[in-house]
Amino acid sequence: MKRQRIAVLSFDVEQDIPPFSNTWRGVEEGLPRIVQFLEEKKVKATFFFTGEALKRYPDKARELYDSGHEIGVHGYKHERLDKLDHDTACKTITKATNIARQVVGEVYGFRAPNLQLPLTLLKCLEDNSYTYDSSLAAYKPPFIRKPTRIGSLVEVPVTVTSSILRLPWPIQARIHKHLSSIRVYFSHPWEYTRVERVGIRLDISMNTGNKALTLLEKLIDYLAMNKFKVLTAHELARQLLRNTT
């Protein structure tokens, strides 16, 4: 597995720019653009839905699932789990998980909002029959840089922050060259709509909309040219489980 080049494309499906907005343009406008593009490229991805997004747009989740993409869970209302007491956080995870399984059937993966998951909540994920977690970031403590076993779960860490994928391509390309051979990219459907700069940080508003989609195309072409195999997060987790049992 160490010799393979594997990439996961993942998208966190949530309200627009939480907590700065309560609109849903990303799901209504950005998500269809992403899906059409992935179909053209013949690439499957993992979509981590909040429970709220699943309740509002169950048909979109089912369409993704039925077309071969993976559906994971991203909390209920994008609440910071590390800001909640343990029991409340676990109930929130369970609530969102039950909604996801009602909408699409089985789900295997979880990603905490803001990539903030207290490690004490891993037991809650195990109790909810998750196979893997993708809440830790390689660029944050404890700096897990490649998929690894934690108890019965596989930890599938995010490799870089999503704003990296909206940097100008010449800068981005230099970064990609130095990432690990197994890498997990993530972004949000709202990034593929035009985000106005007024009142929003530059790293959030830069190169959104059509520019973001063009940069995503460059990334996928780069992965293909460099012989990366693009998997869903669950496929990557299963591969690790096979290699460690």
Question: Domain with 106 in it: what CATH number?
Answer: 3.20.20.370
- Assess if residue 153 is contained within a domain: yes
Show the domain range for 231: 6-244
Contact between 13 and 99 under an 8 Å Cβ cutoff? The reply is: no
pLDDT in the model for residue 3: 66
pLDDT 10s digits, 162-195: 999 999 999 999 999 999 999 999 999 999 999 8
Q: How many domains are contained in the chain? A: 1
d(CA 185, CA 60): 21
- What is the b/e burial string over 69-96, where b = at least 16 CB atoms within 10 angstroms of the residue's CB? bbbbbbbbebbebeeeeeeebbebbeeb
Q: What are phi and psi of 203, to 5 degrees?
A: -65, -20
Contact between 147 and 236 under an 8 Å Cβ cutoff? The reply is: yes
Pairing of strands 229-231, 6-13: parallel
Strands (E), 77-201: 109-110, 132-133, 148-150, 153-155, 182-187
- Assess if residue 150 is contained within a domain: yes
Q: What is the mean pLDDT of residues 146-167?
A: 95
Full-model pTM: 0.96
Contact between 215 and 172 under an 8 Å Cβ cutoff? The reply is: yes
Q: What is the mean pLDDT of residues 74-88?
A: 97
Confidence of residue 201 (pLDDT cuts 50, 70, 90): confident
- Assess if residue 1 is contained within a domain: no
- Assess if residue 236 is contained within a domain: yes
- Assess if residue 38 is contained within a domain: yes
